[in-house]
Amino acid sequence: MRSDALPNPQSRIPNSGPIRFDVVSLFPEFIARAADVGVVGRARERGLVTLQAWNPRDYAEGNYRRVDDRPFGGGPGMVMLIDPLRATLAAARAADPAPARVIYMSPQGQRLTQARVRELAALPRLILLCGRYEGVDERLLQAEVDEELSIGDYVLSGGELAAAVVLDAVARLQDGALGDAESAVQDSFEGDGLLDCPHYTRPVSHALGQVPEVLLSGNHAEIAKWRRQQALVRTLERRPDLIDESTLGKADRRLLADWRSANGADPGGTPAA
Ligand code: 4FV
């Protein structure tokens, strides 16, 4: 990892955007398409997010414009060469005076979380390096990359999907990216890291079931309590790793106790004694 890496995001004053993305990829059209639609596409139209894709093949020497070669030490697959990537990163850096944090998407990276997304969303620029083949020559990573991020413990055929995940998750947190109908506030993992509550819309009655009465009551305090209770129970049932009951406040413990007595069960655990 680069020693003179950009200061870690925590130290930066959050800026409400715009944020510039430069994506280094052998398939620049992939990222361009992913960033053309939905919230990201609209954030770009609103000038909250700018994106430029860079193809290392455009910076590769020789008639064959090689970007990869066989791994030293043998073994399957190919490894991405240093120089085409180095030249591409130099061009991307030079494309804008703002300092950029260079992130390599790889299974060896720290797992991406909403908390990390929030920190990255406060930066002015991100350069996302997408690997292909077996990966990238380690010397390039040591010299040019500030941080490695993983979107999960599985192996993709390329880093582009992971880069598109970072682009989407960061873009939607830019001020003004989400309309008031869509807010990031109630997102899963936002606030205190709970999973989201269930959502319902029309029709009230359907062959698949009814909308919970409380949501039709107009009693916003009761609705908020129900949603909080649902988020607590779901998180305990589905992601107990995200919640430590001993740290819950009195109100949350009350909601869980009510749920347990009402359902004669223990979320995620054995039926209540
Ligand atoms: C990946 C992940 C990922 C590994 C070899 C690209 C592939 C290939 N990136 N989170 N999981 N990358 O599987 O970010 O070069």
Q: What is the pLDDT of residues 202-238, one digit of tens each?
A: 999 999 999 999 999 999 999 999 999 999 999 999 9
Predicted TM-score (pTM) of the model is 0.89
pLDDT of residue 189: 74
Please state at what angle helix 38-45 crosses helix 160-171, rounded to 10 degrees: 60
Q: Would you mind telling me the total number of residues written for the chain in this entry? A: 273
CA distances, 139 to each of 62, 81, 142, 187 (Å): 22, 10, 5, 39
Q: What percent of the chain has a predicted confidence (pLDDT) above 90?
A: 79
pLDDT of residue 181: 56
Residues paired with 192 in a beta bridge: none
Known catalytic residue at 172: yes
Active site (annotated) includes residue 227? no
Residue 271 vs residue 105, higher pLDDT? 105
State both tokens at 8.
């870690």
Q: What is the pLDDT of residue 8?
A: 45
Report residue 118's pLDDT band, with 50, 70 and 90 as the boundaries.
Answer: very high
d(CA 104, CA 116): 14
Residues within 6 Å of ligand 1 by CB: 105-107, 131-133, 135, 150-152, 154-156, 158-159, 162
- The torsion angle over the Cα atoms of residues 205, 207, 213 and 218, rounded to 10 degrees, is -40
Average pLDDT, the chain: 90
- The residue whose C-alpha atom lies closest to atom 9 belonging to ligand 1 is 106
What mean pLDDT is predicted for residues 110-129?
Answer: 97
What is the DSSP secondary structure assignment for residue 154, as one 8-state letter?
S
Catalytic residue among 134, 168, 196, 266: 134
Ligand 1 atom nearest residue 80's Cα:
15
pLDDT at 74: 96
Whether 192 is catalytic is no
Residue 175 to residue 164: CA distance in whole angstroms: 19
Are the C-beta atoms of residues 124 and 17 closer than 8 Å to each other?
no
Which helix (DSSP H) or strand (DSSP E) does residue 205 occupy?
Answer: strand 205-206
The Cβ of residue 22 has, within 10 Å, a number of other Cβ atoms equal to: 23
Using 50, 70 and 90 to split pLDDT, how confident is the model at 269?
low
* Local confidence band at 82 (pLDDT 50, 70, 90 cut-offs): very high
Residue 187 is a catalytic residue:
yes
> Which residue reads 């269930």 in tokens?
198
Mean pLDDT value of segment 269-273: 54
Q: What is the pLDDT of residues 166-192, one digit of tens each?
A: 999 999 999 999 876 566 666 677 667
Question: What pLDDT is attached to residue 11?
Answer: 45
Per residue in 254-267, pLDDT (tens digit) is 999 999 998 876 66
In order of 30, 40, 212, the CA distances from 45 in angstroms are 19, 9, 38
Residues forming beta bridges with residue 50, ordered by sequence position: 20
Taking the CA of residue 135 as reference, the ligand 1 atom at the shortest distance is 15
